[in-house]
Amino acid sequence: MTPGPGVARTLLPKGFFAAGINCGVRKYRPDLGLIMSDVDAVGAGVFTQSTAKAAPVKWSQELVPSGQIRAIVTNSGQANAATGELGVINNLKMVEATAKAIGCNPKQVLSASTGVIGVHMMIDLITEAMPELHARLTDTAENFAVSILTTDLVPKTVTTLVELSKGSVRVTGISKGSGMIHPNMATMLGYILTDAAMTPEEAKTILKTSTDLSFNMVSVDGDTSTNDCSFLLANGASGVKVETVEDFEKIQSAITGVSQLLAKAIARDGEGATKLIEIKIEGSNDLPLARKAARGLTISPLFKSAIHGEDPNWGRILARLGAEGIPEAALNKMELHLQGEIIFKAGAPVAFDRDKVRGLLRSDTVFVNINLFDGSETATAWGCDLSKKYVEINTEYT
Amino acid sequence: MTPGPGVARTLLPKGFFAAGINCGVRKYRPDLGLIMSDVDAVGAGVFTQSTAKAAPVKWSQELVPSGQIRAIVTNSGQANAATGELGVINNLKMVEATAKAIGCNPKQVLSASTGVIGVHMMIDLITEAMPELHARLTDTAENFAVSILTTDLVPKTVTTLVELSKGSVRVTGISKGSGMIHPNMATMLGYILTDAAMTPEEAKTILKTSTDLSFNMVSVDGDTSTNDCSFLLANGASGVKVETVEDFEKIQSAITGVSQLLAKAIARDGEGATKLIEIKIEGSNDLPLARKAARGLTISPLFKSAIHGEDPNWGRILARLGAEGIPEAALNKMELHLQGEIIFKAGAPVAFDRDKVRGLLRSDTVFVNINLFDGSETATAWGCDLSKKYVEINTEYT
């Protein structure tokens, strides 16, 4: 599995094409992107649970699962959220312009937007640029991946080949996200493409499972977005079908892996972040609670600041686990490791070499391992440290 | 009602005395405090809902409600949390030394601790200093209020007189809190003293009500502490009893008012804060949801950063209300005011004078008023802005 970019061009699965251009909404940066399948694709989606859903989220939600998706159009800079009736009209205009350029029905076009909430779209710039966008389609993901970024520093793409019983298929994932990241049953923007053939129901199941183990376990700041959505398109262009139980497990595992790499890339590229933090809670007898507690740690500003300062202030970890409701009996049995060093055991602090742990925290990845010795469930969540840069970025956004 | 200090000395109710000294746990700052009643007082308490409760929290929880409380001892610098069996023993030593100095039973002494989690107390310094602490008791709150501070910049005291049917009584409140502030059914450290006479049951009811409307609605960083607790002591030394329904309502209202002033003082003194933020959600038909949404806004780092930057980026308010689950129909009816200026109405942005609102945000207090026009419930929460200073303080704590 090759994380991109830089290492190599990120190939799209067979029959998929993508492009990204600047249409003028933003000054110089690309702000309009298109993913297209040249045949009808199976499509599934997961969407923000926010009640303040953006217009494109409401549109796309109605269309999936489906066996006839042809494209996903995405603009950045303007979220088209909290924009009332005009927002719905503008989203439809964007979708219709895309359908016209491709030559398909508007109901075959999914849409997504990301950017500032509560401003009306510069829709004419978008519709007028559509023919050019369509003309620039290629078989690689890079230009699209760049066009959907906002405060992200790096584009996020991954691709991998999966050997199924009847041949090999490709899975390519693209995502964006850096702030307002605390997905709830959905994600920032995520696009998983494959040339495997599967049914809409299979696509839906696979996407739900992979999202729960990846995007739904990443947080930058605890703020759930109005525009979160993640899509899986499977166009069957490889000629290889998901046939056996093993095939299903293999492609599920590949898509989960791709999604986890993208989720980690998002946390690492969190606004102002200098470190990726991985929290693993093992030995729980209550998976929802373990997931909640792991995510709780990833949004604790006290813990995140301590990690930024490379300070092994593990009391803040314990405080948060307690606040999340991990039972006292489990807290008294638990072992806590920071960068592989044991810090807390059997209800009391363990004497540890503070200078050594400080040194280990100077890494760009921080591992917190908690074993509750109370069951067999494991939850893993990803986050990032909290720096002054985060505050700087978010005091000067609009 | 006089907020202190600076304006005047904060008098304690009759029969109450307090002191604070440096016993050597911290380098120079006062770190040990005592509140004493010279007669048995009715005592009630509310405590952190964290499962990782500190030793003093567990001790005090067992003692209230009670009709025989004589003192509250508090140390700062060391939280005595996550300290196992030795923590329990050290807490008992602190309580016993206090009881000996006063000449009462240890079970008449409540205790509280605040500071770094997971270090064992320097208990000998504390027990040896107890006679001196006792010798320094006075009838004002200042020295005690200073001795319980950690990252707080200012001590927090309030006192007021209340006219009951049979005479006047005094209510004095003292609190501390600046970081790890997101009380859950309890508070950071809060001490409400009155010389009114009441029953333990009345004290319990009054404290629960006032806490829910004050400390439980303030947040600095969304991190619930291991050591939160708030006490109400009523020693009856005024000779005035809470007799009539009007008396009960008057003293309830005074104690709620005192608690709200302290809660606001905590938010204003939040780590790195430059502004107090008051969120008021009116017209809700679901009080728990309105409370949750108001508190949700106070912990949104995106919203808090925008306010720090004096940026009227109201889309982040809407995003958070949606993420908290305010029904879409209510969001479409709601009116949103920032510093008294209308910003959002009937599901769409209102054109507003951005420079004017920016100017109004240059105040040290920011008011967000939301009316959902969906019912008659109101929730108010307090928080503070998020600055680079917050990150600085918390990267360099231990």
**CB contacts, 8 Å: B396 with chain A:** 309, 311
Asked which of A71-75, A347-351, A363-367 is least confident by mean pLDDT, the reply is: A347-351
Q: Is the per-residue pLDDT at A62 higher than 90? A: yes
Does residue A321 sit at the B interface (CB-CB below 8 Å)? yes
- Whether A242 and A388 map to the same domain: the answer is no
**CB contacts, 8 Å: B181 with chain A:** none
* B79 with A315: Cβ contact below 8 A: yes
Q: Is the per-residue pLDDT at B3 higher than 70? A: no
- Whether A262 and A308 map to the same domain: the answer is no
Instruction: Average the pLDDT over B210-215 and give the result.
Output: 83
Does residue A376 sit at the B interface (CB-CB below 8 Å)? no
pLDDT band at B336 (very low <50, low <70, confident <90, very high): very high
- Whether A246 and A295 map to the same domain: the answer is no
pLDDT digits (tens, 9 = 90+) for B82-105: 888 999 999 999 999 999 999 999
Helix (H, G, I), strand (E, B) or coil at A125: helix
Predicted local confidence at residue B398, as pLDDT: 58
* B322 with A50: Cβ contact below 8 A: yes
Predicted local confidence at residue B2, as pLDDT: 42
- List the 256-315 stretch of A: residues with Cβ below 8 A of B: 299-303, 305-306, 308-309, 311-315
Q: Which two tokens stand for residue B383?
A: 């928080």
- Provide the 10 A C-beta neighbour count for residue A206: 26
- A358-A307-A181 Cα angle (round to 5): 155
- Whether B262 and B286 map to the same domain: the answer is no
- Whether A151 and A92 map to the same domain: the answer is yes
Of all residues in chain B, the one with the smallest CA distance to A302 is B394
Asked which of A264-273, A292-301, A327-336, A389-398 is least confident by mean pLDDT, the reply is: A389-398
Q: Are strands B66-78 and B109-116 parallel, antiparallel or unpaired?
A: parallel
**CB contacts, 8 Å: A346 with chain B:** 84
**CB contacts, 8 Å: B224 with chain A:** 319-320, 322-323
Instruction: Average the pLDDT over B213-223 and give the result.
Output: 77
pLDDT digits (tens, 9 = 90+) for A158-169: 888 999 998 999
Q: What's the CA gap between A77 and A24, in Å, rounded?
A: 10
- Whether A76 and A183 map to the same domain: the answer is yes
pLDDT band at B53 (very low <50, low <70, confident <90, very high): confident
Instruction: Average the pLDDT over B346-364 and give the result.
Output: 89
Predicted local confidence at residue A191, as pLDDT: 86
Q: Is the per-residue pLDDT at A7 higher than 80? A: no
Among candidate residues B235, B268, B301, the one where a domain is terminated: B268
Kindly report the CATH number assigned to the domain that includes residue B81: 3.60.70.12
Q: Is the per-residue pLDDT at B377 higher than 80? A: yes
Predicted local confidence at residue A397, as pLDDT: 59
**CB contacts, 8 Å: B300 with chain A:** 221-223
Rg, Å, chain A Cα set: 21
Q: Is the per-residue pLDDT at B263 higher than 90? A: no
- Whether A26 and A172 map to the same domain: the answer is yes
Does residue B325 sit at the A interface (CB-CB below 8 Å)? yes
Q: What's the CA gap between B159 and B174, in Å, rounded?
A: 9
Is-contact B224 B184, C-beta < 8 A? yes
Q: Is A138 a catalytic residue?
A: no
Is-contact A68 A60, C-beta < 8 A? no
Distance of alpha carbon A246 from its chain centroid, rounded? 26
Of all residues in chain A, the one with the smallest CA distance to B387 is A391
Measuring CA to CA, which residue among B339, B346, B333, B352 is closest to residue B283? B333
Does residue B82 sit at the A interface (CB-CB below 8 Å)? yes
Q: What's the CA gap between B322 and B320, in Å, rounded?
A: 5
Q: Is the per-residue pLDDT at A307 higher than 90? A: yes
Among candidate residues A219, A250, A268, the one where a domain is terminated: A268
Does residue A221 sit at the B interface (CB-CB below 8 Å)? yes
- A261-A8-A14 Cα angle (round to 5): 80
Helix (H, G, I), strand (E, B) or coil at B152: coil
* B82 with A299: Cβ contact below 8 A: no
Among candidate residues B217, B238, B268, the one where a domain is terminated: B268
Of all residues in chain B, the one with the smallest CA distance to A311 is B395
Query: How many domains are there within chain A?
Result: 2
* H/E stretch holding A167: strand A167-176
pLDDT band at B304 (very low <50, low <70, confident <90, very high): very high
Of A10, A48, A114, A187, the catalytic one is: A187
Predicted local confidence at residue B145, as pLDDT: 93
- Whether A13 and A41 map to the same domain: the answer is yes
Does residue B350 sit at the A interface (CB-CB below 8 Å)? no
Predicted local confidence at residue B4, as pLDDT: 41
Output b/e per residue, B109-131; b: 16+ Cβ within 10 A.
bbbbbbbbbbbebbbebbbebbe
Predicted local confidence at residue B397, as pLDDT: 59
pLDDT digits (tens, 9 = 90+) for A186-208: 447 888 989 888 999 898 899 88
ipTM of the complex in this document: 0.70
pLDDT digits (tens, 9 = 90+) for A359-390: 999 999 999 999 999 999 999 999 999 999 88
The one-letter amino acid at B33: G
Instruction: Average the pLDDT over A161-184 and give the result.
Output: 83
pLDDT band at B184 (very low <50, low <70, confident <90, very high): low
Q: Print the SS3 string covering B125-137.
A: HHHHHHHHHHHCC
Helix (H, G, I), strand (E, B) or coil at B55: helix
**CB contacts, 8 Å: B180 with chain A:** 302, 316, 319
Please state, rounded to an integer, the average pLDDT across all residues of chain A.
89
- Whether B228 and B313 map to the same domain: the answer is no
- Whether B148 and B290 map to the same domain: the answer is no
Does residue A88 sit at the B interface (CB-CB below 8 Å)? no
Quote the domain boundaries for residue A220. 2-268
Concatenate the DSSP letters of all residues of B197-245 into one string: B--HHHHHHHHHHHHHTTGGGB-SSS---SS-EEEEEE--TTS-B--SH
Would you please indicate which residues of B are annotated as catalytic (active-site) residues?
187
Is-contact B293 B326, C-beta < 8 A? yes
- Whether B166 and B68 map to the same domain: the answer is yes
Does residue B135 sit at the A interface (CB-CB below 8 Å)? no
Predicted local confidence at residue B392, as pLDDT: 87
Of all residues in chain B, the one with the smallest CA distance to A317 is B117
Q: Are strands B335-338 and B276-284 parallel, antiparallel or unpaired?
A: unpaired
Angle of helix A301-308 versus helix A315-323 axis, rounded to 10: 160
DSSP A221: S
Please state, rounded to an integer, the average pLDDT across all residues of chain B.
89
Q: What's the CA gap between A85 and B1, in Å, rounded?
A: 49
Predicted local confidence at residue B226, as pLDDT: 77
Kindly report the CATH number assigned to the domain that includes residue A343: 3.10.20.340
Q: What's the CA gap between A384 and A266, in Å, rounded?
A: 9
- Whether B73 and B89 map to the same domain: the answer is yes
pTM: 0.77
Does residue A373 sit at the B interface (CB-CB below 8 Å)? no
